[in-house]
Amino acid sequence: MKWIKHDTDANQDAKLQNVMLDYGLEGYGLYWYCIELIAGKVDKENITFELEHDARIIARNTGSTTQKVEEMMKYFVKTELFENISGVITCMKLAKRLDKSMTSNPEMRDLIASMRSHDGVMTESAKPMQDKIRLDESRIDNKDTMSCKPDVVVIINHLNSVVGTKYKTSTKSHIQNISARLEDGHSVEDLKAVIDSKFKDWGHDPKMAQYLRPSTLFQASKFQGYLTASKTIGTGQHRDINQIGTDFSQPAGFKKMIFSESGEHLGYEQ
């Protein structure tokens, strides 16, 4: 989703009033920052309303601390602003804010209409939809277990290890993005190389670090460029002295050119 509805009197909500009483604008800002992160990932392929960023990344991007972010997130869950199901933070209430005017994508509009038409699922209770999503993800896991699950697990675990994230191997969009690149003929090592390369480029930049995620790293239109860039050092470009080495001896077969005092080329040294 490119945008969401934000009422001008949202700050008068009783739960958000308590957030501001306990954590001030830092807590209020964190809540809406997380809402933006969740909504930004919603599309026709992903209706989990899941917060994929962990506390460390959020803290780095907002200038807070990991401990403070974790404390406030627990508060959000306790006050039922968010949900915590098996360690996964979601905001199913956001689903009630979806409107067809938010997107021009026909498939997404149909999806919103379908979601809003199920009062028992989206309007009155978030839990049935969440359970349905979990069930759908389990079906995806079962379907892909034999074909791509091992490689998906390896790649996501590598991403989590390098970046410090907690992306789940059961998330549908992650499976699709990674599987698509593998089906294109790329190897597991190719995907790992992109992870390592982009972490080196973006890892210390708070504005770019948020893009160290499967949907960006393995995006069809960008992956080849990322992969090519990751192999630049291997082709001899942009190398530093440590990569070049210190052996400056002449290669085998090298012949020194001989010139006259006037600069005329006379031949090669035997």
Q: How far is CA 160 from the centre of its chain?
A: 11
pLDDT digits (tens, 9 = 90+) for 137-188: 444 444 444 344 688 989 999 998 999 888 888 888 889 899 999 999 999 9
pLDDT at 17 over 90: yes
Q: Given pLDDT bands bounded at 50, 70 and 90, which one contains residue 110?
A: low
pLDDT digits (tens, 9 = 90+) for 185-221: 999 999 999 999 999 999 888 888 888 999 999 998 8
Is 145 in a helix, a strand, or coil? coil
The helix (run of H) or strand (run of E) holding residue 257 is: strand 257-259
* Residue 27: inside a domain: yes
87 or 120, greater pLDDT:
87
Work out the mean pLDDT of the chain and round it to a whole number.
76
Q: For 207-225, b where at least 16 C-beta lie within 10 A, e where not — what string?
A: eebbebbbbbbbbeeebee
CA distances from 124 to 80, 85, 96, 131, 240 (A): 15, 19, 9, 14, 61
Percent of the chain at pLDDT above 90?
34
Same domain, 134 and 187: no
pLDDT at 85 over 70: yes
Same domain, 34 and 159: no
- Asked if 117 contacts 77 with a C-beta cutoff of 8 angstroms, the reply is no
Same domain, 102 and 197: no
* Residue 258: inside a domain: no
Q: For 161-187, b where at least 16 C-beta lie within 10 A, e where not — what string?
A: ebbebebbbbbbbbbbbbbebbeeebe
Same domain, 180 and 125: no
